[in-house]
Amino acid sequence: MPQVGIVMGSDSDMPIMKKAADVLKELGISFDMHIISAHREPDEFFAFARGAEEKGYKVIIAGAGMAAHLPGMCAAIFPLPVIGIPMHTTSLGGRDSLYSIVQMPSGIPVATVAINGGQNAGLLAAKILATSDAELLQKLKDYSASMKDAVVAKDARLKEVGYEAY
């Protein structure tokens, strides 16, 4: 049974949403992924959001651009956490998406990551799930340690070869 539902309004969002899926996969978190347009197929969207809890989702990650209604509408229907990923747009660089997702009315919170922040959305979903899963919490600690190790290795290489050869 999937613990996380990943939903996007268009397949053009896939490169960013894939980053969230990759993190979840690396941490061993079950998920499934959907392309559903809240505007173009409202009946399908409402069926998805209304059925998400019964399907076993503990978190929904929703990516959207421009008007970016998908995360907020998920949060209006789904009683558990929703993480919104604002997508970069050509007209306003994603600020339109960011404002649409983060400026939700009182009572309908959407946790919002950076524009195109797929990796952080996956990590935030994992951290939410880890509040009641000690094994997952350890995996997150190991993930953080590996990020630190990567930076230490890069610094060592810089010291070894110098900035010009780096």
Structural contact between residues 87 and 16, judged by C-beta atoms closer than 8 angstroms: yes
- At residue 72, the pLDDT reads 96
Computed from CA positions of residues 101, 27, 3, 7, in that sequence, does the dihedral angle turn out positive or negative? positive
Structural contact between residues 57 and 78, judged by C-beta atoms closer than 8 angstroms: yes
- At residue 91, the pLDDT reads 86
The full DSSP string for 46-69 is HHHHHHHHHHT-SEEEEEE-TT-H
Which residue bears the tokens 């009946």?
Answer: 43
pLDDT for 97-120, tens place per residue? 999 999 999 999 999 999 999 999
Cα 122 to Cα 110: distance, rounded to the nearest angstrom:
14
Burial 93-127 (b: 16+ CB within 10 A, else e): ebebbbebbbebeeeeebbbbebbbbbbbbbbbbe
- At residue 163, the pLDDT reads 95
- At residue 153, the pLDDT reads 97
- At residue 87, the pLDDT reads 97
Token pair for residue 74? 């998920």
pTM listed for this prediction? 0.94
Within the chain, which residues score under 50 in pLDDT?
Answer: none
pLDDT for 17-34, tens place per residue? 999 999 999 999 999 999
Question: Hey, what CATH topology would domain 4-132 get?
Answer: Rossmann fold (3.40.50)
